[in-house]
């Protein structure tokens, strides 16, 4: 059986047993049911909730650092030089690995099994271990920083704790990615070949494969850091101030594109629904998403070991090519909107804001890769990373608005969603473009004189992104207070998740769905296993 074939019916029917094993028994409730649950929806909500909490902390730290940077210095306004470095490295890594990636995994845990017509996620107990391992690792990671144990910190035991905790939370995220990828590969509904997979599930498959290939490299680097730090041998040169430089490749081009791939998947699901039309050139869009994820492979980019790695021809080609899949996708969505009867919904605004920001990020990334421009090592690089990461944050929060009825059972306020999307777009641009301008036209490699206004604009951008996250949290908490049952399909969606109740029952589908196209609800050809047998 190839990966494009539909899994055997027996494999689908067996998932009911796995779901039963993963779900809490009828006589268990409250906290015990949550702790012992393997239900993908419960685990997804836990991932989402805690990632949003950690996101507030990480963005607040980023705001503190950006405010301290306004006068063009580092650690002379609010923070000391040593504490500035600790807060800077914390917010840089926490925004990605304590907030962004787990938020995407939380949405995927909740939505991907529903999209592919499965009643469970693959390896439900491993999925539970993924969340609890990530939560414990994140707690230890924060504790290490609290005792001055971040990379290059003054507390030796704290630095060791940081390396171990970081590796632990990365291992947990890796396990979660394995569960999502396996779900898409093996638990699709009857009739759902791989080319009929919903776009968000496809993008998580593409991104998840890249995570599986690159996160182990980062874990290996942390192991070398720990050995050098713990035994003081400096055998690998991974000790002291060089620690953060050894892992910084995971936050820069091209690796940062691997984390941004789900932007395209969300937009590809939302745009046809908003347009009330079928996605045109669907295979081309799927290929563009896959290509973009491949161009996000950055595990070989160990710049502190091989400083000239970023100026090799392959890096330049990858950076320039990254523009192409975004442009192709945008062209397809423009044609879809033009050919349909579009309606303005908040998830569409989130999706378009994220994709346009990503397009600008790929253009900046192409310029960053060209050695002649001499932009590497400047604030231009920070501007590019911020633009890509905050564009992904915008898409992830938009996903919460789109699938809110599946996440917490209630729709979120549309007007608040539109406001949040606009706030996030402005924040993303302000937190990124001023740094890019500073790096391109400043006189120094880091902070330069005369750019205080640009630094202040960037600090305002961080504040707006933080505000957008706060508005989303308020909207989610407000949705929890609603009474009654929400509509199963509030958007007139095209894919299987909209055939389930809101929130979905424990086993998702009362009967195993059978599909005959990529947009089964648009074609109204969803059948049940019993009907197919009849």
Percent of the chain with pLDDT strictly greater than 70:
85
Q: What is the mean pLDDT of the chain?
A: 87
Six-digit token string for 482: 């609603």
Q: How many CB atoms lie within 10 A of CB 40?
A: 31
pTM: 0.91
Residue 443: C-alpha distances to residues 77, 147, 183, 211, 374 (Å): 22, 36, 51, 37, 12
Domains of the chain in sequence order = 41-480+490-533 (1.20.210.10)
On whether the CB atoms of residues 526 and 515 are closer than 8 A, the answer is yes
Q: Which helix (H) or strand (E) holds 334?
A: helix 323-339
Spell 393-414 as b/e; 16+ CB within 10 A means b.
Answer: bbbbbbbbbbbbbbbbbbbbbb
Residue 17 — very low, low, confident or very high, per pLDDT cuts 50/70/90?
very low
Residues 6+ apart with CB under 8 A from 471: 416, 419, 420, 423
Whether residue 200 is predicted with pLDDT greater than 90 in this model: the reply is: yes
> CA dihedral defined by 312, 315, 320, 324, rounded to 10 degrees?
150
Q: Which helix (H) or strand (E) holds 514?
A: strand 513-514
**Predicted pLDDT of residue 34:** 82
More confident residue, 212 or 241: 212
Q: What are phi and psi of 527, to 5 degrees?
A: -125, 160
Mean pLDDT calculated for residue range 29-54:
90
Six-digit token string for 531: 């009907």
Residue 23 — very low, low, confident or very high, per pLDDT cuts 50/70/90?
very low
Nearest to residue 56, comparing CAs of 469, 422, 474? 469
Mean pLDDT calculated for residue range 235-257:
82
On whether the CB atoms of residues 392 and 262 are closer than 8 A, the answer is yes
Residues linked to residue 528 through DSSP beta bridges, in sequence order: 513
- What own/partner pairs with CB < 8 Å and gap ≥ 24 does 18-26 have? 18/120, 18/124, 19/119, 19/120, 19/124, 19/506, 19/507, 19/508, 20/507, 21/124, 21/125, 22/120, 22/121, 22/124, 22/125, 22/128, 23/506, 23/507
Q: What whole-number distance in Å separates Cα of residue 514 and Cα of residue 524?
A: 11
Q: What are phi and psi of 190, to 5 degrees?
A: -60, 130
**Predicted pLDDT of residue 202:** 98
**Predicted pLDDT of residue 287:** 97
On whether the CB atoms of residues 505 and 518 are closer than 8 A, the answer is no
Lowest model confidence (mean pLDDT) among 105-109, 155-159, 328-332 = 155-159
**Predicted pLDDT of residue 309:** 54
Lookup result for tokens 């990636």:
101
Whether residue 1 is predicted with pLDDT greater than 70 in this model: the reply is: no
Q: What are phi and psi of 513, to 5 degrees?
A: -75, 150
**Predicted pLDDT of residue 75:** 59
**Predicted pLDDT of residue 524:** 67
Q: What are phi and psi of 486, to 5 degrees?
A: -80, 160
Nearest to residue 398, comparing CAs of 463, 328, 345? 345
H helix intervals, 9-116: 9-13, 15-22, 30-35, 40-68, 81-94, 101-115
Whether residue 512 is predicted with pLDDT greater than 80 in this model: the reply is: no
Please work out, in degrees rounded to the nearest 5, the angle formed at the alpha carbon of residue 394 by the alpha carbons of 61 and 323.
110
């Amino acid at each position: 059986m190839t990966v494009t074939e539909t899994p055997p019916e027996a494999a689908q029917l067996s998932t009911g047993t796995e779901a039963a094993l993963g779900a809490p028994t009828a006589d268990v409730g409250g906290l015990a049911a949550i702790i012992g649950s393997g239900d993908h929806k419960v685990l997804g909500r836990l991932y989402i909730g805690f990632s949003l909490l950690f996101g507030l902390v990480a963005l607040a730290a980023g705001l503190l650092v950006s405010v301290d940077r306004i006068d063009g210095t580092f650690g002379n306004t609010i923070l000391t030089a040593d504490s500035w470095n600790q807060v800077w490295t914390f917010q840089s890594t926490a925004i990605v690995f304590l907030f962004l990636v787990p938020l995407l995994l939380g949405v995927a845990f909740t939505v991907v099994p529903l999209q592919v017509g499965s009643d469970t996620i693959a390896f439900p107990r491993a999925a539970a271990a993924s969340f609890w391992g990530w939560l414990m690792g994140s707690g230890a990671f924060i504790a290490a920083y609290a005792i001055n144990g971040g990379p290059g910190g003054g507390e030796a035991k704290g630095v060791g704790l940081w390396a171990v905790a970081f590796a632990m939370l990365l291992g947990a995220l890796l396990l979660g990615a394995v569960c999502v990828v396996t779900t898409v590969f093996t638990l699709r509904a009857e009739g759902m070949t791989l080319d009929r997979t919903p776009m968000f599930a496809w993008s998580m498959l593409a991104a998840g494969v890249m995570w599986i290939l690159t996160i182990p490299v980062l874990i290996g680097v942390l192991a070398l850091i720990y050995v050098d730090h713990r035994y003081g041998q400096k055998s690998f040169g991974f000790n002291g101030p060089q620690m953060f430089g050894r892992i910084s490749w995971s936050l820069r081009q091209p690796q940062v594109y691997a984390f941004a791939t789900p932007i395209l998947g969300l937009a590809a699901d939302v745009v046809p629904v908003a347009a009330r039309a079928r996605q045109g050139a669907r295979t081309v869009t799927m290929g563009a998403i896959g290509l973009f994820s491949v161009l996000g492979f950055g595990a070989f980019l160990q710049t502190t070991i091989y400083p000239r790695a970023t100026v090799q021809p392959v890096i330049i080609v990858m950076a320039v090519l990254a523009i192409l899949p975004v442009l192709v996708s945008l062209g397809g969505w423009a044609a879809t909107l033009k050919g349909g009867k579009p309606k303005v919904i908040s998830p569409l605004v989130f999706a378009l804001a994220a994709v346009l920001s990503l397009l600008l990020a790929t253009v900046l990334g192409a310029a960053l890769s060209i050695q002649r421009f001499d932009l590497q090592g400047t604030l231009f690089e920070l501007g590019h990373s911020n633009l890509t990461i905050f564009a992904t944050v915008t898409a992830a929060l938009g996903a919460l608005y789109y699938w809110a009825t599946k996440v917490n059972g209630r729709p979120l306020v549309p007007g608040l969603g539109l406001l949040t999307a606009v706030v996030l777009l402005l924040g993303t641009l302000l937190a990124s473009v001023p740094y890019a301008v500073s790096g391109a036209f400043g006189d120094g490699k880091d902070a330069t004189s005369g750019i205080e206004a640009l630094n202040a604009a960037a600090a305002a951008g961080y504040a707006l992104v933080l505000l957008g996250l706060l508005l989303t949290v308020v909207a989610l908490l407000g949705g929890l207070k609603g009474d009654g049952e929400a509509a199963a399909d509030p958007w007139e969606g095209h894919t299987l998740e909209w055939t389930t109740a809101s929130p979905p029952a424990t086993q998702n589908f009362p009967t195993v769905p059978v599909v005959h196209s990529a947009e089964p609800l648009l074609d109204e050809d969803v059948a049940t296993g019993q009907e197919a047998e009849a």
